[in-house]
Structure 1
Amino acid sequence: MDAVETKKTMTFSPIAEGQFGKLTDRMNQLRDKIIDAKPYVDPERAVLATEAYKAHQDEQLDVLRAKMLAHILDKMSIFIEPETLIVGNQAQSNRWAPVFPEYSMNWVLDELDTFEKRSGDVFYISENSKEKLREIAPFWKHNTLEDRGLAAFPPESRVFYDLGIIGADGNITSGDGHIAVDYTSLINKGLKWYEQRVKTAMDALDLTDYDNQKKLYFYQSSLIVIDAVRHFADRYVALAEKKAATETDPEEKQNLLDIAAIMKKVPYEPATTLREAVQSVWFVHLILQIESNGHSVSYGRVDQYLDPFYEADLQAGRTTPEKAVELLTNLALKTLTINKVRSWHHTEFSAGSPLYQNITIGGQTPDGKDAVNPMSYLILQAIAQAHLPQPNLTVRYHKGLSNDFMMACVQVIKEGLGMPAFNDDEVIIPSFIARGVKQEDAYNYSSIGCVETAVPGKWGYRCTGMSFVNFPRTLLIVMNGGVDPESGKQLLPNYGRFPEMTSYQQLMDAWDKSLREITRQSVIIENTCDMVLEQGYPDILCSTLTDDCIGRGKTIKEGGPIYDFISGLQVGIANLADSLAAVKKLVFEEKQLTPEQLWDALQSDFAGEAGEKIRQMLLNDAPKYGNDDDYVDQLIADAYKPYIDEIGKYKNTRYGRGPIGGFRYAGTSSISANVGQGHSTLATPDGRHARSPLAEGCSPEHAMDINGPTAVFKSVAKLDTEAITGGVLLNQKMSPQILRTDESCLKLVALLRTFFNRLHGYHVQYNIVDRATLIDAQKHPKQHRDLIVRVAGYSAFFVGLSKETQDDIIERTEQRF
């Protein structure tokens, strides 16, 4: 019987405290090895990619990229861990990070001798690996995505990039990512179904039509990568059989023979068991990140597409809940083996080496019914048992979620993983439908990466993750008559300098015009990044698995997907809110400060006794965002509006080429950019010192939210959340002691329901860790090797972060009921 047709007849019970169980011995051993693995920079993929590019320079671009992936999969090192039930590795060893030279080599060469000296996100590299990378570097000189992107930026826009006012480093030093492919079709139909679709479309082409000739190359490349994936699987078949031939332990021998049998079948053939389905999903997920190093490659609605296989196995006696959880923990552990080395500048925006590989559970079916199923609970169990920062786990909230399931989620939150995060169906689904997404697709959305959302298998790249716009620094430029105080460059028109302004409205008029120009410049930068990516770096396997690239004969960047909306990220929401409140109240209403006094204090970073007195006034005498104070909350809603209005005017590079949409919207999922962009931002009117971190996401500034979690929720809900479709990221922090009883857990459930049901919040996630533990982990990192914290829209091992990022997390407000 086909697994997808199996009726859900199995019963399941909620998870209570202490009922997660423990990792099996097999998975515990694998976990220890993975966590203890030192992250090395691996040159193997870089060498193989270079060989392929040299050998196939005369090929059409799509074919070149396909043959590159085929060469890598055919020649790269493979291994099978003794403990694993599923196979596939990204690099020569777990947690090693491949180099992708086609995207950038400049920073790699610059940082070869400093990887081990980083303050956080440390990588190791051998002298032999350094030499291999230096040997291939001449081929890539002036021949990478970064080289082409920097050359293509219009000069008047590039200055915003060079000064860090508009950040897009990750967009021209790596691939896109930020996507979930169609895993449902993959596991139920196999790659051979895609292969047949491609062959049928290719046979129908009239090559006298120029557009059809272009489609031919995409179809040829799709067949190449499907065949490459099949041969890659065959390599694991051969390895498993070879190992089985000398294995003396009967149980381990059988496991290797099982692996060989499974890899002979998937992912080319449809899966018929849960283990086959998980292996198929993992194998393709892995290869997508060998093809391209774009992060936020996500799994989609895992409980929805795996549950039919689990229930069929259960009915047939092929599995038990315990075996299913072990398989899911294996998937989680394998997910953590994938690693990415970034430039140090990009690392500041992504502290903790995150890959943002998101699993989504819960939510609703297309007819609006609760979609929670037995697999939803098993995934919660597996995530709790694995106790890892990856994969990222998101629960889709809706009013019909049972208290049992909500309590199970809270029990996982208590484990201190920073997961699951919650996204709200009641906001996201209507927002999608209003933008033209079909209802059945809107109900099937999943989280991608951090808090961003898209329809798996039907949405193009970067539903968010485009450029980063620094709101507080923009405010300082506006206050300085369009001149960047940091560089002294005139970047925007002079709408008046703050020391000469006589009203708050003057400042807001200047802000409105200036922010719209900054927004326009961000669009130019984003379009440039997308243009050079399309011109030189198509991802063939990812496109093949995304509807309807095959039907249209186009890659993702050419307009192949059904939907294509994107968003940039706006950084420093709370700093802007508190700054505007201080200026309006203290300068123009109460006149405790003159504009000149405040400006001078900012320029000196509040130096001296007088400067510190002004800083304390800014900190203590003005309303603060996060306290349900309409005064400041309305100011930030109004100040955000010019960006939301302006960004909605601009089309992306795929507009009119097939997809529904092709527009942009706002998003606050700023990852750890608040630290990096804080470095280039001078003192701000909220009392923040120069160079210190900005507030992250849409969360309040540290220690400024003093009226409790409900007040925070009310402040955040006053933002135009339905317009900020790119994600409204809210981090909250609580001491483990707060959730020590069932009663307190029920209070958190009630609080969450209030936020989503009554206030229409978009997203929230929790750090459950106390300040004392974090401080002790700074002093004694070896004793806290697997302490996990929520950094932004993702979790990370605390001890791997830079001290500055650690301090930023320590200083976050600890909420109480």
Structure 2
Amino acid sequence: MNPWTKPGDPTRRCRRGESMFALLCGDDLLDHPRGSMPECLRVARSRAHALANLPLHPGMCGEFWGGPATTHLTPYAIVAFPREGRDDKASFAAYHDTTRSFKVGANHTIPDYRTLIDKGLGDFIRRAGDAFQRDPSPCREAMLISLKAVSDYLRRAAAFCRPFHPACAARLEKIATERPETFAEGVQLVMTIHDLLTADNGGANALGRLDQYLFPLYVADASGRGEALDALCHLFVAVDRYHDITNIAIGGMTPDGANAENALSLLILEAVGRVHSPSTNLSARLHDQSGDAFLRGCVKLIATGIGFPAVFNDHVNVPMLVGTGIPVEAARDYALVGCVETVVPGRQVPWSDGRFNMPEIFCSLMRRLEDFDSYEALWSELSRRLAEGLRAYQADYDAALAARPAADYPMPLLSALVSDCIARGLDVNGGGAEFPRFHGIGMMGLATLADSLAVVKKLVFEEKRIPARRLVEALERDFEGDEALRQVCLNHAPKYGNDDPYVDAIAADIVRLASHLSADLRSADGGRLLSCMASNVQNVSAGAATPATPDGRHAKAPLSDAASPSAGRDREGPTAFVNSIVKPDYATQNCTVVNMRFAPAMFQGEAGVARMVALLRRFVAGRGHEMQFNVTDNGVLERAMERPEEFGDLIVRVSGFSDYFVNLAPEVQRDILRRSLHGVA
């Protein structure tokens, strides 16, 4: 197998919306305007036209055929394949007029890779053809057209690269119609499907449980461990070139509840470490039976500073899915998309989410704090306001769905690759998927709200140390002229993240309330709106629009990050940190994000690895939901901010994803730097 090369320029970004694929789709769409045929056929034929006419070039083929060079705008394509008489702007606009947005189920998804690997693309084509013969609906025809277009594209690529790469050509020819039989063939099929779904408006699509569905090929392939490692590295380099978030799940349980870890789980850890790209967003599923070798492999990769694997608790995620009506065997097969979002791979509508600013609603109550005679009365009104806000959120989401009906904005290729769209003859967004859509409501500012409520409960209502009027006036002035009061708020009420039962109980109450208020929320098409303690990096922008809060946070300062303690407020060490973040019951929350920073010294030697393994086991036993780690010291981050040209390859965990530190906005860089650094002598 040819050697793979390390990822290149970290500042490079792939623009899917301006790809050669999109341009060619648009050309065909302009030739066949809306209304000329059922929209699903129009979309399917435009994508088939693009795949049949994509200009091919040797640069598309390394050891494998794949990566953004196969579908994206490149200098050779512009120069060598001019499109006379075509208006690029009009073609791009026509393409985008057929796409959905993330909010309404465009991407953040996983096709049915397991069945693709087990049975092959040809089986999907046969099933789609049989279904169309039984019931020749336009939707079934569109899926059949899409699948055949992929097969034809693979054969065309095989013919093109056969003179200079016969091994790759043989793989492409094989998987065009047959099931893969070698590990390299399986990797090629995964790479191709990921390429094509990514090219067609697909952001943050995931590879799913790579160690599970490729494992039979790994065991059966006589090529050995070294060849498999190289193949994985080639795959991850291709993933890197998109500069996207591509989640990969490893570990976890089998459908019958046994430990699913295997030799390929460990090999993926090694390959991700070797490629060292922030795009391979690795997620490790943990449970009570997780093996020491797997945990140690996770810790050693985390110690490199890459920011993953993030760790997820099966004892929380599986019950959460079962609670939504998903059978336990399917729930145990969950994977992650995007940053941390939990879905059933190959069987569900694409994920979507939005943001909900809890502290902002609380601030509107603080203006009339004097009207409440008890903490309980304040809590009751906060609950009512949050419920009111969530109902408005639901109405806004339903309006967005109504503006993009599946009949007018179909996704025939993805539909063909998701169970049970072929059998039902329906689009993935129109009732074809086996399980309904999940939409996450990112409930921002958990610790900001918990710490603020602790101040009000303890210092205003219980101890009466702070008069309500004084606190209200101080908040309105952003504490100007009353720094003494701000210091009382900061230092004389407990803060989440320090294993203090007083404030930890309030945080647990907030999570419980969010779960309760979202439990009955449904989208107009029967999907679930699920509470999530997650914010991505929007805690920074949301904070900029939020007044000062009773925890001592200044107006416009970032909110606390997702489900993490407020930056710099967790001061009692890593054990206290974990003891706090496992107290809320997340069994009805789809996802959470807990960021934790360690000094590199924390991981040194066997003792350091053992210490972190013990911390992960405490997280699992305590039924925490998710954790992720940064391993960088403050000095490195500060120097990177001052001299970014010297730190182009510095990777950090941001919030649910990793990225090159120098590519982050300065306010996000500062937010990471503000997080408490554990393990410092």
Using the size of structure 1 for normalisation, the TM-score is: 0.77
- List alignment gaps of at least 5 residues for structure 1: 1-23, 98-127, 147-168, 206-212, 245-255, 340-354, 481-496, 656-661
Residue 717 of structure 1 pairs with residue 638 of structure 2: no
Q: Which residue of 2 aligns with 1:444?
A: 333
How far apart are 1:93 and its partner, in Å? 8.5
Count, aligned residues: 666
Name the CA distance, whole Å, in 2 between partners of 1:562 and 1:280. Answer: 23
How far apart are 1:807 and its partner, in Å? 0.8
Q: Which residue of 2 aligns with 1:105?
A: none
Pairwise mapping of residues 87-166 of structure 1 onto structure 2 (< 5 A)?
Answer: 87-90=65-68, 134=89
Residue 308 of structure 1 pairs with residue 216 of structure 2: yes
SS of 2:312's equivalent? strand
Q: Which residue of 2 aligns with 1:652?
A: 523
Q: Which residue of 2 aligns with 1:476?
A: 363
Offset from partner CA, 1:11-52 (integer Å, 9 cap, x none): xxxxxxxxxxxxx9932xx32445474656835444334323
Calculate the aligned-residue CA RMSD, in Å.
Answer: 2.6
Name the CA distance, whole Å, in 1 between partners of 2:70 and 2:107. Answer: 22
Distance verdict in 2 for CA 1:233–1:815, change over 3 Å: same
SS of 2:162's equivalent? helix
Q: Which residue of 1 aligns with 2:678?
A: 815
Distance verdict in 2 for CA 1:570–1:407, change over 3 Å: same
How far apart are 1:189 and its partner, in Å? 1.4
Identify the match of residue 184 of structure 2 among 245, 268, 275: 275
Name the CA distance, whole Å, in 2 between partners of 1:573 and 1:770. Answer: 26
Identify the match of residue 453 of structure 1 among 334, 342, 362: 342
Letter in 2 for 1:26: P
Residue 190 of structure 1 pairs with residue 120 of structure 2: yes
Q: Which residue of 2 aligns with 1:754?
A: 618
Name the CA distance, whole Å, in 2 between partners of 1:540 and 1:81. Answer: 29
Pairwise mapping of residues 46-65 of structure 1 onto structure 2 (< 5 A)?
Answer: 46-56=22-32, 57=34, 58-65=36-43
Residue 218 of structure 1 pairs with residue 139 of structure 2: yes
Name the CA distance, whole Å, in 1 between partners of 2:138 and 2:333. Answer: 32
Distance verdict in 2 for CA 1:794–1:137, change over 3 Å: closer
Q: Which residue of 2 aligns with 1:406?
A: 295
Identify the match of residue 595 of structure 2 among 695, 709, 731: 731
Offset from partner CA, 1:57-105 (integer Å, 9 cap, x none): 21212112212222332334444448821112435788989xxxxxxxx
Identify the match of residue 549 of structure 1 among 418, 421, 436: 421
Q: Which residue of 1 aligns with 2:47?
A: 69
Q: Which residue of 2 aligns with 1:677?
A: 542
Name the CA distance, whole Å, in 2 between partners of 1:276 and 1:432. Answer: 33
Distance verdict in 2 for CA 1:435–1:82, change over 3 Å: closer
Name the CA distance, whole Å, in 1 between partners of 2:93 and 2:291. Answer: 59
Name the CA distance, whole Å, in 2 between partners of 1:616 and 1:170. Answer: 42
Name the CA distance, whole Å, in 2 between partners of 1:616 and 1:25. Answer: 62
SS of 1:766's equivalent? strand
Identify the match of residue 743 of structure 1 among 579, 589, 607: 607
Q: Which residue of 1 aligns with 2:472?
A: 599
Name the CA distance, whole Å, in 2 between partners of 1:76 and 1:669. Answer: 39
Letter in 1 for 2:502: Y
Letter in 1 for 2:230: E
How far apart are 1:139 and its partner, in Å? 6.3
Distance verdict in 2 for CA 1:82–1:26, change over 3 Å: farther
| 8 A Cα contact 1:37 1:95, kept in partner | no
Identify the match of residue 264 of structure 2 among 341, 366, 375: 375
Distance verdict in 2 for CA 1:615–1:53, change over 3 Å: farther
Percentage identity across paired residues of the two chains: 32
Distance verdict in 2 for CA 1:364–1:641, change over 3 Å: closer
Q: Which residue of 1 aligns with 2:6?
A: 31
Offset from partner CA, 1:692-711 (integer Å, 9 cap, x none): 22111200011101112222
SS of 2:668's equivalent? helix
Name the CA distance, whole Å, in 2 between partners of 1:514 and 1:471. Answer: 10
Name the CA distance, whole Å, in 1 between partners of 2:545 and 2:95. Answer: 30
Offset from partner CA, 1:402-448 (integer Å, 9 cap, x none): 21221121111111111111111122223323433222212211222
Pairwise mapping of residues 792-803 of structure 1 onto structure 2 (< 5 A)?
Answer: 792-803=655-666
How far apart are 1:203 and its partner, in Å? 1.9
Residue 633 of structure 1 pairs with residue 609 of structure 2: no
Letter in 2 for 1:812: R
Name the CA distance, whole Å, in 2 between partners of 1:618 and 1:36. Answer: 42
Q: Which residue of 1 aligns with 2:78?
A: none
Q: Which residue of 1 aligns with 2:397?
A: 526
Pairwise mapping of residues 702-713 of structure 1 onto structure 2 (< 5 A)?
Answer: 702-713=567-578
Offset from partner CA, 1:178-229 (integer Å, 9 cap, x none): 2211101112212221111112222222xxxxxxx7xx11111011111221
| 8 A Cα contact 1:731 1:792, kept in partner | yes
How far apart are 1:719 and its partner, in Å? 1.3
| 8 A Cα contact 1:26 1:83, kept in partner | no
Letter in 1 for 2:559: L
Letter in 2 for 1:411: K
How far apart are 1:794 and its partner, in Å? 1.0
Residue 258 of structure 1 pairs with residue 162 of structure 2: no
Distance verdict in 2 for CA 1:32–1:389, change over 3 Å: closer
Residue 238 of structure 1 pairs with residue 215 of structure 2: no
Q: Which residue of 2 aligns with 1:691?
A: 556
Residue 322 of structure 1 pairs with residue 226 of structure 2: yes
| 8 A Cα contact 2:535 2:562, kept in partner | yes
SS of 2:353's equivalent? coil
Residue 171 of structure 1 pairs with residue 171 of structure 2: no
Identify the match of residue 181 of structure 1 among 104, 111, 115: 111
- List alignment gaps of at least 5 residues for structure 2: 76-82
Q: Which residue of 2 aligns with 1:15?
A: none
| 8 A Cα contact 1:94 1:338, kept in partner | no
| 8 A Cα contact 2:7 2:275, kept in partner | no
Q: Which residue of 1 aligns with 2:199?
A: 290
Distance verdict in 2 for CA 1:263–1:513, change over 3 Å: same
Q: Which residue of 2 aligns with 1:125?
A: none
SS of 2:638's equivalent? helix
Letter in 2 for 1:716: I
| 8 A Cα contact 1:267 1:283, kept in partner | no
How far apart are 1:270 and its partner, in Å? 0.8
| 8 A Cα contact 2:52 2:153, kept in partner | yes
| 8 A Cα contact 1:38 1:95, kept in partner | no
Offset from partner CA, 1:370-411 (integer Å, 9 cap, x none): 211111111011001001101111111112122122112111
| 8 A Cα contact 1:79 1:89, kept in partner | no
How far apart are 1:520 and its partner, in Å? 0.7
| 8 A Cα contact 2:18 2:92, kept in partner | no
| 8 A Cα contact 1:364 1:443, kept in partner | yes
| 8 A Cα contact 1:42 1:92, kept in partner | no
Letter in 2 for 1:288: L
Structure 1 segments (4+ residues) deviating >6 Å: 92-97, 137-141
Distance verdict in 2 for CA 1:26–1:616, change over 3 Å: same
Q: Which residue of 2 aligns with 1:620?
A: 491
Distance verdict in 2 for CA 1:44–1:692, change over 3 Å: farther
Name the CA distance, whole Å, in 2 between partners of 1:587 and 1:267. Answer: 69
Distance verdict in 2 for CA 1:39–1:82, change over 3 Å: closer
Distance verdict in 2 for CA 1:43–1:402, change over 3 Å: closer
Identify the match of residue 450 of structure 2 among 564, 571, 577: 577
How far apart are 1:665 and its partner, in Å? 2.3
